Amino acid sequence: MDAREQLFQQLIEECGGGIARLAGSYVRNQAEREDLVQEIWLAIWRALPGFRGDSSLRTFAYRIAHNRSVTQLARRRDSEDSEVLETVADERPGPEAQLERSRDAERLMRAVSLLPLGMRQVLTLRFEGLSYSEISEVLGISESNVAVRLNRARDRLNTKLSNTV
């Protein structure tokens, strides 16, 4: 296995779930998410030879995922007259004991999906454990802008979630 394949495998292991969740925050259904995730991994594979180490490999991958997701979002907006919101469903099967947790997760995901894109972006990246600095680098905005967007997103989520209790 060459160095590129090793880096790619490392990224899949470390960021696979996060990349899928990030993609899911930009699209509205499972099929679009799967297509976008494939596009993201292909873009990462193609970009790996150009990785210079200016940032962490993780930040590099999330930056590509963000850019590809924004491109997909722009394509979808160009091809559709209006955006149709679909409910976000938790597709994981589980025992009855997890039912309440599942409902809470659904409410949270639904509330997040209703936030403006800028807030969804920072919130999703923060959920994935990226620091303010890494989010700033991925989105190309200042760290203070990241903080402002996160605070506004949290405020809106609190309002939305307290209204649905």
Euclidean distance between CA atoms 16 and 119, whole angstroms: 22
CB 88 within 8 A of CB 106: yes
Structure tokens that stand for 28 in this block: 């509205």
Across 48-64, average pLDDT: 89
Instruction: Tell me the whole-structure pTM to 2 decimals.
Output: 0.63
Euclidean distance between CA atoms 18 and 24, whole angstroms: 10
Find, among 63, 93, 64, 77, the residue nearest to 32 by Cα. Answer: 77
Please say if the pLDDT value at position 56 is more than 50.
yes
**What pLDDT digit, counting tens, does each position of 120-154 carry?**
999 989 988 999 999 999 999 999 999 999 999 99
